[in-house]
């Protein structure tokens, strides 16, 4: 698949936003006592590649490692930062936190702390799209640890039988929390999916262009009635399972450094240069992402906190009208 300059720049913009938003979260959160949650740095090629291939009406369900997916799908950065800071002005009024935040108007339906639980959510959204003939697809991200959950195989079975417009993206970063994939997962992840008769592609998750092409092909196939697909992307998280996890207990410095040498942002920058895009444009996109992310967290620090008087809003209905209290 030949990519044009506009697509290449869009990929880079998403790559930079994913990275800079997380770096800003770490920087501001460390000072303010806000948890940075589960790190995504290193895996940006997957989120950027997939989401660049989607339409805004397409739907994404995420995992506990959700920052990159939310940013790449186009969530409002200011309100996302406010949500992570527990502000009443956040995307979910400060109640969702990292793993449950969502913004349906851009097609981002959030994640879940249940490993693999979002796959069932994704199959429901895909079924809705099929029945409504909306020509949209649903993408469900899952980690290599999640492929050992039974719900994946229930979803694959239903998706294959019903021809659901569902794309399952396996972000295989080599570890299920602290357990190496080689130890916990028998056989081939791709072969497991192939046994259900679904389309499967295996890609280098550090190469955003490769992920984009796989996702664009899967989307075209799905909206054309070709049914579900699985994209198996090999990638790597630079930090631990969560911020504070002493990941060097189970990963060597050489292993981490070997993956950092294939950083998705650096690799895409080289591709942009090969495309003839000048360094000023490349640097400008990077700086814009850095500035925009810092602005989001500056606003988050000044966000309106949740107060006890509002704590039951949207939870308790008026006994006479049945309407939710606002």
Q: Give the pLDDT band of residue 298 (cuts 50, 70, 90).
A: very high
Average pLDDT over residues 217-234: 97
Look at 91 and 242; give whichever has higher pLDDT: 91
Alpha-carbon gap, residue 200 to 165, rounded angstroms: 14
Whether 268 shows a pLDDT value over 80: the answer reads yes
Tokens of 244: 């504070």
pLDDT tens, 2-22?
899 999 999 999 999 999 999
Which whole-number Å values give the CA distances from 209 to 120, 259, 304, in the listed order?
A: 28, 18, 40
Q: What is the pLDDT of residue 324?
A: 63
Whether 319 shows a pLDDT value over 70: the answer reads no
Whether 249 shows a pLDDT value over 70: the answer reads yes
Q: What is the pLDDT of residue 46?
A: 98
Q: Give the pLDDT band of residue 68 (cuts 50, 70, 90).
A: very high
Q: Give the torsion through C-alpha atoms of 219, 19, 93, 76, to 10 deg.
A: -60
Q: What is the pLDDT of residue 322?
A: 64
Average predicted confidence (pLDDT) for the chain: 93
Whether 236 shows a pLDDT value over 90: the answer reads yes
Average pLDDT over residues 171-200: 91
Q: What is the pLDDT of residue 320?
A: 67
Neighbouring CB atoms inside 10 A of 106's CB total: 18
* CA distance between the termini of the chain: 50
CATH of span 5-302: 3.40.50.970
Q: What is the pLDDT of residue 305?
A: 87
Q: What is the pLDDT of residue 85?
A: 94
Whether 309 shows a pLDDT value over 80: the answer reads no
Whether 261 shows a pLDDT value over 80: the answer reads yes
pTM: 0.93
Write a three-state SS string for the chain.
Answer: CCCCHHHHHHHHHHHHHHHHHHHHHHHHHHHHCCCCCCCCCCCHHHHHHHHHCCCCCCEEECCCCCHHHHHHCCCCHHHHHHHHCCECCCCCCCCCHHHHCCEHHHCECCCCCCCCHHHHHHHHHHHHHHHHCCCCCEEEEEECCHHHCHHHHHHHHHHHHHCCCEEEEEEECCEECCEEHHHHCCCCHHHHHHCCCCEEEEEECCCHHHHHHHHHHHHHHHHHHHCCEEEEEECCCCCCCCCCCCHHHCCCHHHHHHHHCCCHHHHHHHHHHHCCCCHHHHHHHHHHHHHHHHHHHHHHHCCCECCHHHCCCCCCECCCCCCECC
């Amino acid at each position: 698949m030949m990519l044009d300059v506009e697509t290449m720049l869009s990929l880079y913009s998403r790559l930079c936003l994913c990275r800079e938003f997380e770096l800003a979260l770490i920087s501001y959160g460390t000072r303010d006592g806000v948890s940075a949650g589960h790190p995504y740095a290193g895996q940006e090629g997957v989120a950027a590649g997939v989401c660049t291939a989607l339409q805004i009406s397409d739907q994404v369900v995420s995992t506990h490692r959700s920052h990159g997916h939310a940013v790449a799908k186009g969530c409002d950065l200011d309100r996302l930062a406010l949500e992570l800071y527990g502000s009443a002005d956040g995307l979910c009024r400060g109640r969702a936190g990292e793993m449950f935040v969502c913004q349906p108007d851009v097609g981002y339906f959030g994640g879940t702390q249940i490993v693999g639980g979002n796959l069932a959510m994704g199959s429901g959204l895909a079924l809705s799209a099929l029945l409504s003939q909306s020509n949209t697809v649903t993408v469900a991200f899952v980690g290599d640890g999640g492929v050992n959950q039974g719900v994946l195989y229930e979803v694959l079975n239903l998706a294959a039988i019903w021809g659901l417009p569902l794309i399952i993206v396996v972000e295989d970063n080599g570890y299920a929390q602290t357990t190496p994939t080689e130890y916990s997962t028998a056989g081939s992840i791709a072969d497991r999916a192939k046994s259900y008769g679904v389309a499967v592609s295996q890609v280098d998750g550090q190469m955003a262009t490769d992920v984009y092409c796989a996702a664009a092909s899967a989307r075209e196939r799905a909206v054309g009635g070709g049914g579900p697909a699985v994209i198996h992307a090999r990638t790597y998280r630079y930090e631990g399972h969560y911020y504070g996890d002493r990941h060097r207990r189970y990963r060597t410095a050489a292993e981490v450094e070997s993956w950092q040498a294939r950083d998705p942002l650096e690799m895409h920058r080289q591709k942009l240069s090969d495309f003839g895009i000048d360094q000023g444009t490349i640097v400008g996109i990077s700086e814009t992402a850095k500035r925009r992310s810092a602005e989001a967290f500056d606003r988050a620090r000044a966000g309106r906190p949740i107060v006890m008087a509002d704590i039951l809003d949207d939870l308790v209905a008026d006994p006479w009208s049945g309407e939710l209290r606002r």
